[in-house]
Structure formats: C-alpha cells, structure tokens
Amino acid sequence: MQAKITEIHQQIADFQIENKEQLEAFRIAYVGRKGVIGDLFDGLKNVPQEERRAVGQELNALKEAAQNKFNEFQALMESASDKSVAIEFDLTLPNIPNENGTIHPLTLVRARIIEIFAKMGFNVSDGPEIESDFYNFTALNFAENHPAREMQDTFFIEKKGGNVADDMLLRTHTSNVQIRLMQNQKPPLRSIMPGRVYRNEAISARAHCLFHQVEGLYVDKNVGFKDLKDTLYYFAKEMFGQDTKVRYRPSYFPFTEPSAEIDITCLICKGKGCNVCKYTGWVEIAGSGMVDPNVLEQCGIDSQEYTGFAFGMGIERITMLKYQIKDLRLFTENDVRFLRQFEGL
C-alpha cells in the first residue's frame, strides 16, 4: 500500500496537463471516485487495524494533492479562456457611462443639520437603537403608567416581568442618548444626536414605524430659555431661509420644564394658510424645553449648579418641509425617480 501511494504521488506530479482533454483525463484517473485513489480507499479495509489510521491519513493527503493539482490547472485554463474573450472586446466602442448614485435626501438633510449646529459648537453623539426602558423612559421622568410606554407606541423586545425599567425595547426617540451622554460626561455638554427611532404605527403618508430624529442637548452653568430660543431661531433661518419666522408654543414633555413646541411659517403658503399647515400659516418642527432638574439629578448632575436645554426634531419632517415632499413612504421605497431629484444638492 505504502509503495503504491508513493508511486501515485509521483504520477500526479509528472502528469502533463496542457489542454482540457488532459485535464479531464487527470480528473478521471485521480480525482473521480472511480480513479486509482478511490480504489486504494476501498482497499483500506484490508489494511491491519493498527496501521489503518496512519495509512488513511496518507491516503487523504494523496487525495488532496490530486485535488489541488486539478484545481490549479482548472483555474489556469479558465483564466486563459477569459483572456481570449477579452481580446474580442471592441475597443473602438463608446464608453459605458459610469452611473453615480445620489445622496439620499435624509442623509443630505442630516448632514445639513449637523453642519448648522456645528457652527454653534455642537458636536455629534450616538447611542443604541435597542434600549432598555430605563434610558428610553424612566430616566427621562416618564411616570410608570405613562401612556407612551404602552404597546401601541413601543416595540417591546423583552418584558422582564419585574422592574419595568429593565424591559428591552426599540427606542421611540433619540432622547435616550441625552441620558447616556449626561451619565458619561461632565458638563459643559453641547451635542446633537441624530439617529433612527421606531414606533408601532401603521404606515401611511404621514406616519411610519421607523423614522429619524435629531436630539439636541446643551448643559452648562447659566443656560437659560433665551439660549434655547436663540439656538433654534438660528437653526430655522439657516435651514429654511432668512425670512422664516419662528414661534414657541407652550407644551408638555416629561423630561423638560418648561416645554415648548417650535413652529415656523409654512413654507408652502408663506403663512397665508393652506392645507399643509391646516390653514394656520404655521408648521411644527421640533419639541424642546429646559431639562427637568429631576433628569439632571438622575444623571448625577447638580441641578443647583447646572441648567440645560434640549430639543428633538424629526429629520423626515424637516426634509418634507424643506423639499415639499407629501408622502413619508417615498423615503423608504427607493424609487430612483424620486431619489434622482436630489442629485447635486
């Protein structure tokens, strides 16, 4: 058996393969199941028990040597035949135009938002989309029975059954990143936090189960409501144009006190009234407020020493207003006729 194995190794090494026929002959003789190596495997049962393992290993090595040689020559022949195809190329034909993609409108607007806030000294922070109830709700001062925790809003991943703060969910807003930031860094903090959020909503022209927000947070000594107003005023004018008017409407969020919603003059009717602004002349762009002292304290920040403001806005909403897009579903359908309209912006 041993001598036979050595002999076949030699045969494999010597075998000349110069064309497809020789390659096929090699395959039949050494690689195929019915070849000589196959026969040797069949004979393995006659080898004495104590030698069988060692001989088996040598046979496997032989089989591998045959297979490797076959693979090598097969690849060689394929690349040779590719070359002959290449020669048939007609180099006088005109070039095939290079199809460039375009930047998605949401990416475009996110970049613009980051750019505007960067000019005011805001950096960018990131946080997880799969989150615990603690970061999404509890630490943001949501009462245990707050309706936003309900199933119809939130995609829960795991209900632990014990403390609700331990439940796992898909974040419903980017406000979770505020908490992580305040826990991990000391004031002064000045950051915006763009990201994807999820809500259990039926998909329509105005709602989606998945969308994007940008959160903003500014915590330092002596931060006041005027700073919030100035910051968002500047943002609105940079984003929508210098003649845009901004108003602050009192509102409520568990994590801010006082809270305000921010409206701008409707870009479609310029404030005269139309169906987009429901004939009010104003459209909402963001929620905001002064960070509730409870939230600061939860994160280990002394609320006697520091104050802060926060805001949150939907990137889809800003994009729809800026480019007068009427259907939210267009953002996820990947219709190139829609996407191409943002080329070069």
Question: What residues form the annotated binding site for Mg(2+)?
Answer: 257
User: What is the C-alpha separation between 275 and 9, in angstroms, rounded?
Assistant: 84
| CA distances in angstroms from 39 to 32, 33, 62, 64, 260, listed in the order given | 10, 8, 13, 15, 85
By CB under 6 A, name the one of 141, 288, 298, 307 that touches ligand DAH: 288
- Grouping H, G, I as helix, E, B as strand and the rest as coil, residue 272 is coil
Tokens 């009427």 belong to 326
Binding of ligand DAH by 141 (CB under 6 A): no
Six-digit token string for 129: 């989309």
Six-digit token string for 332: 């996820």
Q: Which of 116, 65, 79, 105 is nearest to 317 (CA)?
A: 105
Binding of ligand DAH by 154 (CB under 6 A): no
Six-digit token string for 282: 């104003």
User: What is the C-alpha separation between 89 and 146, in angstroms, rounded?
Assistant: 69
Binding of ligand DAH by 289 (CB under 6 A): yes
| Segment interacting with ligand DAH (CB under 6 A) among 23-31, 44-52, 306-314, 315-323 | 306-314
Binding of ligand DAH by 311 (CB under 6 A): yes
Identify which of residues 26 and 311 has a Cβ nearer to ligand DAH in the complex.
311
User: What is the C-alpha separation between 269 and 279, in angstroms, rounded?
Assistant: 9
By CB under 6 A, name the one of 37, 170, 312, 331 that touches ligand DAH: 312
Binding of ligand DAH by 175 (CB under 6 A): yes
Identify which of residues 66 and 290 has a Cβ nearer to ligand DAH in the complex.
290
Tell me the number of residues near ligand DAH by CB under 6 A. 11
* Alpha-helical regions (H) of 198-248: 225-240
* Alpha-helical regions (H) of the chain: 2-14, 20-26, 36-43, 49-87, 105-119, 133-136, 175-184, 225-240, 293-298, 315-323, 330-333, 336-339
Identify which of residues 188 and 241 has a Cβ nearer to ligand DAH in the complex.
188
Q: Per CB under 6 A, which of residues 235..254 are in contact with ligand DAH?
A: 253
Contact 213, 312 (CB under 8 A): yes
Binding of ligand DAH by 256 (CB under 6 A): yes
| Segment interacting with ligand DAH (CB under 6 A) among 58-66, 92-100, 113-121, 287-295 | 287-295
Per-residue mark of binding to ligand DAH, 197-236 (x: CB under 6 A):
------------------x---------------------
> Is 122 exposed, middle or buried (CB count within 10 Å of its CB: 0-12, 13-18, 19+)?
buried
Instruction: Please state the residue numbers annotated as binding site.
Output: 257
| Segment interacting with ligand DAH (CB under 6 A) among 15-23, 158-166, 185-193, 308-316 | 308-316
| Segment interacting with ligand DAH (CB under 6 A) among 104-112, 159-167, 179-187, 282-290 | 282-290
Binding of ligand DAH by 287 (CB under 6 A): yes
Binding of ligand DAH by 308 (CB under 6 A): no
Which residue has the CB atom at the shortest distance from ligand DAH?
312
Where does this chain bind ligand DAH (CB under 6 A)? 173, 175, 215, 253, 256, 287-289, 310-312
